[in-house]
Amino acid sequence: MSSESHVGALHASLLTALGTAIVSGAYPAGHVLTLDGVSAQHGLSRSVTREVVRVLEAMGLVESRRRVGITVQPAEKWNVFDPILIRWRIDGGDRAAQLASLSELRRGFEPVAAALAARRATPDQCRTMAAAVSDMVVHGRSGDLEAYLLADNVFHRTVLEASGNEMFRALNGVVAEVLTGRTQHGMMPDTPDPAAIELHDEVARAIRTGDEAAAEKAMRAIIDEAAVDLGCELNG
């Protein structure tokens, strides 16, 4: 490993350690850290620690002030759309609340994005969505959940891009973390539900034929079906 890669790995490790400690409540709002204290605790240089603190500040998790230290901020100040923060929260103790919140958010924009895609999608985007659905069918039957996840991510990313709305496109990372979190935390069945795949196919067909209402309805059904599955998993 090169020295640059080594520093990058240390940076990522410390970022994850501090970030998860904050979102889990181990470091509650108002808790004050010091650069020297964090550096000593994790055996890292001040420069690496300082860079990590800057990232956490950009995420709204901490505020750093001279002669005060590094103060953990309340959740109201967090950049809750940051995909890394979403990942930490799904990995942590408030997984149920985070996934419920994200399901509500998805209901608010993905069906609308699908309707816009039915108006604006290019032929290439339509082909990409159709291919992604075909891959979901193949990998769903084989039980290859990682490959299925990749195809699912491609599908949803393409829908957001095809909407032609830059704000929706920017939310791709949010959706990707939801899909990834479900797979990595065992919230997906060993064999994906064929009905869910069929709904993806309905979205793709409606977009290809320019049927805005059908695209919106089918996308809403996808999200509702996923929310029900998550609820059963978390309650069971």
| Per-residue pLDDT reduced to its tens digit, 146-191 | 999 999 999 999 999 999 999 999 999 999 998 998 888 777 777 8
Q: Which two tokens stand for residue 200?
A: 């993806």
DSSP letters, 94-118, are THHHHHHHHHHHHHHHHHHHHHHHH
What strands lie across the sheet with 69-72, from one edge to the other?
32-33, 69-72, 62-65
For range 25-52, the mean pLDDT:
95
Measured CA to CA, the distance from residue 225 to residue 102 in angstroms comes to 14
Q: Which sequence spans correspond to the domains of the chain?
A: 3-77, 83-235
Asked if the model's pLDDT at residue 234 lies above 50, the reply is no
Domain 83-235 in this protein, CATH class: mainly alpha
Lowest mean pLDDT among 1-15, 21-35, 174-188: 1-15
Asked if the model's pLDDT at residue 1 lies above 50, the reply is no
Q: What is the pLDDT of residue 228?
A: 74
Cα 169–chain centre separation? 13
Global confidence as pTM: 0.86
| Per-residue pLDDT reduced to its tens digit, 197-230 | 999 999 999 999 999 999 999 999 999 988 776 6
Q: What is the pLDDT of residue 189?
A: 72
Q: How many CA atoms lie within 13 A of 14 on its CB side?
A: 27
Segment 56-60 long-range contacts (CB within 8 Å, at least 24 positions apart): 56/15, 56/18, 56/19, 56/22, 59/19, 59/84, 59/85
Neighbours of 143 (CB within 10 A): 12
Q: What is the pLDDT of residue 184?
A: 80
Measured CA to CA, the distance from residue 120 to residue 101 in angstroms comes to 29
Is residue 144 classed as helix, strand or coil in its secondary structure?
A: coil
| Per-residue pLDDT reduced to its tens digit, 92-119 | 867 878 888 998 999 999 999 999 999 9
Measured CA to CA, the distance from residue 121 to residue 127 in angstroms comes to 10
* Residue 5 binned pLDDT confidence (cut-offs 50, 70, 90): low
Q: What is the pLDDT of residue 144?
A: 93
200 residue type, one letter: H
Q: What is the pLDDT of residue 2?
A: 45
Assign domain 3-77 one CATH number from 1.20.58.100, 3.40.50.11890, 1.10.10.10, 3.40.1350.10: 1.10.10.10
